[in-house]
Structure 1
Amino acid sequence: MKINWSLLENIGSLLTVKGLQYVLSFITFPYLVRVLHVDGFGELAFATGIIQYFLLVSNFGFDLSGPKSIARHDRGPKRGFYFTSIMGAKILILLLLTVIFGIALVVLSRWFAFNVLLYIAIYLNVIGTALFPIWFFQGIQKMRYITFVSIMGRIISVAGIFLFVKASNDIVWAAFFQSIAAVIAALCSWIIIYKEYPDVLIRIKWTHIKEAVKDSVPYFGSMVAINLYTTSTVVFLGLLTSDYIVGIYSAANRIIDAFRGGLSPIVDALYPFVNKAAKESKERAKEILSKAFIILCSGTFVLCIGILATAKWLVYYILGSSYEASVPVLQILSFLPLIVICSNIYGLFGMISFGHQKEFVTILVHSAILDLCIVFPLIYYMNAEGAALTMVLTEIYVLYRCVRFVNASDFRFL
């Protein structure tokens, strides 16, 4: 079998970034949960959940449509057309969101008591993420650039956290230095683009930006649906319970996210690769999906067993004794990485790569409706454990629907 060195390089670059993020996260995360305490960490998690709505709209699904468009036109003038159109759309959306965000802060601060500076600090992440064209580097399969800029941002972020966050009342500094990593990465990435890829900066018409937005609508719909049963869970939990309960749930979920993050480099590198393969040869794409499913799911299953077996140990040593209530939450969430990687292979790689974006969005919308039906009663009766159970049940439903669709199609790969 021919070795695809470009794919291996991209996976290696992303694994380097994630490896560093693991090291830095396992240094800063236990530090923050202890310094901010359960209530402070819960307040930070709730505010981050609110700002995630702005982040969602600012991305507008371009993180999915962008790599696909660039990968299929990774050379020639069309590459610049897609880059400038998408970037122009993202900047316009960001400007509109920033105006809305400012007005909302002024109005709501008159009616509710909350930390305005905390929300401003977290919003910096929206700005940085919107201006960071990671989708472009994914599309051209040059992920080594992301390695460099991400490392720069993370190192400065970690240094700032340890220098300025000393007590629970330093929560704004904690939010600021977590957000500044995205801003630094965005600035560095634009320097690379100006030096290495100046040809992608071209003149376009207003209609081109409208077309870019239109092309990304199905992906945005899927992201909205996903957000309803992921990020919104924290928001619903905060509205129905307290900062303490949010802190208990969010701390356990962060541990799961850390393990899931180890899989994301492979997912990020495979996505444009499978898209390109699907365009060239359906049989080759199916072969890639089959091998990816067997390898990734086998490894993730072992990982999930490990999380379940060591949940108490993980909570005690990473979070501390004050987060003892996070143990059952972590146990409920322990198999989430396996469920999500399976649904990514069937949904993101399978359905979207073969042109079934609308059907995939439909599945996610139905899943979001299911989530809304069960999240409130489960949180009401079970608090943080209910939020975790909601997440798992919804992801299982997503996987079931994706598997059912793919197995009934002409691109069934298992």
Structure 2
Amino acid sequence: MLEKLGLLPLGDIIKNKSIQNFLFLAIIQSSNVLISIISMPLLIQGIGVDQFGLVNLALSVIVLLNIMVGFGYNLSAPREVAINQTDKTALSHLVSNIFSAKILLAAFAAALIIFGVYGLNLFKEYPLILVYSVLLLFSEATLPLWFFQGMEKMKLISIANIFSKLLFLMGIVLFIHRPELSKWVNFMMGFSGLMINLFLLAYIHTFLQIRFYRPQFSAIWTSMKENVLFFFSNLTGYISVNGGLIIFSFFAGAETLGMYSLAERVVMVLRLFPAMIVQAIFPNASKLYRKDEKSFYRFLKLVYIRVLIGGAVIATLTYLTAPWVINVLSRSELNESVTYLQLLSPLLFLSCLNIPNITMMLVADLKQLLFKASWMMCLYMLIVTSILTYFYGGIGLCYGILSTEIVAYCICMVLLRTRNRKLFHGFYS
């Protein structure tokens, strides 16, 4: 691939729609990471480590519910939009139904939170923070990223995303200076996102001539049934990767939770690396798999070796620089956070191990196999991390999360070997 790209003029490469989409998606991810890194020390100084942990815990709950709000449309909707690009009427009905479905799901998720807080007296340590975070559900519901992906017009939404994050950062700098203001942190994130999304919807309607119709509930129900597998795959995947903070909240106080949350935030930022690698190689890998399987395996092995080396280097640097990283982000010496970060630093390398397995499942369209692997990994993570956290606290949680990555790799290998021997031996032989 690289050799072929080297023969093309730079202008032709940049004009390629697929490459543009990837570059703008990378810009969105990079801006999210950068704002997250900048906001951490500001929030810790403004509201304290304990409230920072509760804000992150509330955000974890919201992100979990946002998977329900998304309901797999992030995977299915871009394809549907791309197919109907030139049919304004069909596209208008599609867009109207998807937005209606996501808004209804957001309203249902918001009702669950309010009932849990005020009806069941759950989330006792952070009820107001969680209730004020509800706006993030509607920010997710109105986010038209899937539409612009399908239309191959990613420039506008990448700029809008950066502007939204800058508004959020400005709000932190201007207004968040005391612990009692912690309830407004996620609210501001949701508000800035929702306002930008409404401007994007106005653009879609005015300039792209997409009309918004009344929802067709039969079409919404049909699309949701088709997306059930995507939804559960996303849900189990999220719980496996990000559920540690929620589990830890049952066993730790606010300050300890904040210590762990700071380290986890750093690791989760680094963990975007393997996900972005899969996104980057997936289009070319798909083409090679269909045209020439031997070239596909060679390409995947070459990428795998380089990614493992890169992951090992980054993981090592993270371990060595952990005291400095925590000191820069918190502007204080938090030895407990340093310990957690050093323990979690191998996570990046371990998550890179599974890149070829995930890539092979995607290019071969093994959705059910991917779903089976995800729920098995999720079940293991919930059981093992809960036990280890109960007996050993945050350190046990770290070991549980690390072991989950190893088990996930083994599960994917076993499933591939038993269900698709040709694919398995093609890469591992």
| Greater displacement, 357-366 / 137-146 | 137-146
Gaps of 5+ in 1: none
- Aligned residue number for residue 107 of structure 1: 119
The residue number in structure 2 matching 1:304 is: 315
Question: Is structure 2 residue 105 aligned with structure 1 residue 93?
Answer: yes
Partner amino acid, structure 2, of 1:67: P
Q: Which residue of 2 aligns with 1:175?
A: 186
1:184-195 residue pairs with structure 2 within 5 A? 184-195=195-206
Cα distance in 2 for residues equivalent to 1:252 and 1:89: 36
What SS does structure 1 have at the residue aligned with 2:62? Answer: helix
- 1:46–1:234 CA contact under 8 A, matched in 2: yes
**Superposed CA offset, 1:115-158 (max 9, x none):** 44311221211110121022232334432222111011011100
Could you tell which deviates more after superposition, 274-283 or 404-413? 274-283
Match of 1:239 among 234, 237, 250: 250
Q: Highest CA radius of gyration, 1 or 2?
A: 2
Which piece of structure 1 moves more, 319-328 or 62-71? 62-71
Alignment coverage as a number of residue pairs: 410
Aligned: 1:252 with 2:263? yes
Decide which moves more: 403-412 or 375-384.
403-412
Hey, what does 1:316 align to over in structure 2?
Answer: 327
The separation in 2 between residues aligned to 1:309 and 1:16, in whole angstroms, is 28
Classify 1:193/1:2 alpha carbon distance in 2 versus 1 (closer, same or farther; 3 Å).
farther
Q: Does 1:119 align with 2:119?
A: no
Deviations 1:72-118 (A, max 9, x none): x2644465565444333222222322333333333145x87544431
Q: 2:369: which partner in 1?
A: 359
1:46 aligns with 2:49: no
Residue type matched to 2:20 in 1?
E
SS at match of 2:399: helix
Structure 2: gaps of 5 or more residues = 6-12
Deviates more, 1:122-131 or 1:226-235: 226-235
Q: Is the 8 A contact 1:33 1:41 kept in 2?
A: yes
Higher relative contact order (CA 8 A, sep 6+): 1
Superposition pairs for residues 331-410 of structure 1, below 5 Å? 331-347=342-358, 349-406=359-416, 408-410=420-422
SS at match of 1:308: helix
Shift in CA distance, 317/98, structure 1 to aligned 2, threshold 3 Å = closer
**Alpha-carbon shift at residue 249 of structure 1 (Å):** 1.3
- 1:212 paired to 2:233: no
Q: CA deviation at 1:292?
A: 4.6
Q: Summarize the Cα distance change of 1:214–1:341 in structure 2 as closer, same or farther, 3 Å threshold.
A: farther
Taking the aligned partners of 1:135 and 1:337, their CA distance within structure 2 comes to 27
Given residue 65 of structure 2, which amino acid in structure 1 is its aligned partner?
F
Call closer, same or farther: CA 1:97–1:384 in 2, change over 3 Å.
same
Matches within 5 A, 1:12-161: 12-70=23-81, 73=83, 75-77=85-87, 82-109=94-121, 113-161=124-172
Q: Counterparts of 2:197 and 2:292 in 1: how far apart (Å)?
A: 35
Matches of 1:269 and 1:190, distance apart in 2: 28
> What is the aligned counterpart of 1:166 among 177, 183, 194?
177
Q: Which moved more, 1:280-289 or 1:354-363?
A: 280-289
Deviation of residue 254 (structure 1)? 0.5
Q: Which residue identity is paired with 2:388?
A: L
SS state of the match for residue 230, structure 1?
helix
Is residue 44–residue 330 contact of structure 2 (8 Å, CA) maintained in 1? Answer: yes
Q: Percent identity?
A: 21
Contact map agreement 2:92 2:211 (CA 8 A) in 1: yes
1:101 is aligned with what amino acid? I
Question: How much has 1:7 moved relative to structure 2?
Answer: 2.9
Question: Structure 1 length as normaliser, TM-score?
Answer: 0.86
CA pair 196-48 structure 1, distance change in 2 beyond 3 A: same
Q: Which shifted more, 283-292 or 241-250? A: 283-292
2: distance between equivalents of 1:250 and 1:341?
A: 22
CA–CA distance in structure 1, aligned partners of residues 232 and 405 of structure 2: 17
Change (3 A) 1:352 1:84: farther
Aligned residue identity for 1:384: G
Note the alpha carbon deviations across 1:247-276, whole angstroms, 9 max, x for none.
1111101111222345655555655x3697
SS in 2 for 1:207: helix
Post-superposition offset of 1:60: 1.6
Provide closer, same or farther for how the CA distance between residues 311 and 362 of structure 1 changes in structure 2, counting only shifts above 3 A: same
Relative distance call for 1:114 and 1:373 in structure 2 (3 A) is closer
TM-score, normalisation: structure 2: 0.84
Q: Is the 8 A contact 2:17 2:152 kept in 1?
A: yes
2 CA distance for matches of 1:185 and 1:260?
27
The whole-number CA distance in structure 1 between the counterparts of 2:355 and 2:80 is 19
Shift of 1:25: 2.9
Q: Secondary structure at the match of 1:240?
A: coil
2:42/2:172 contact within 8 Å kept? no
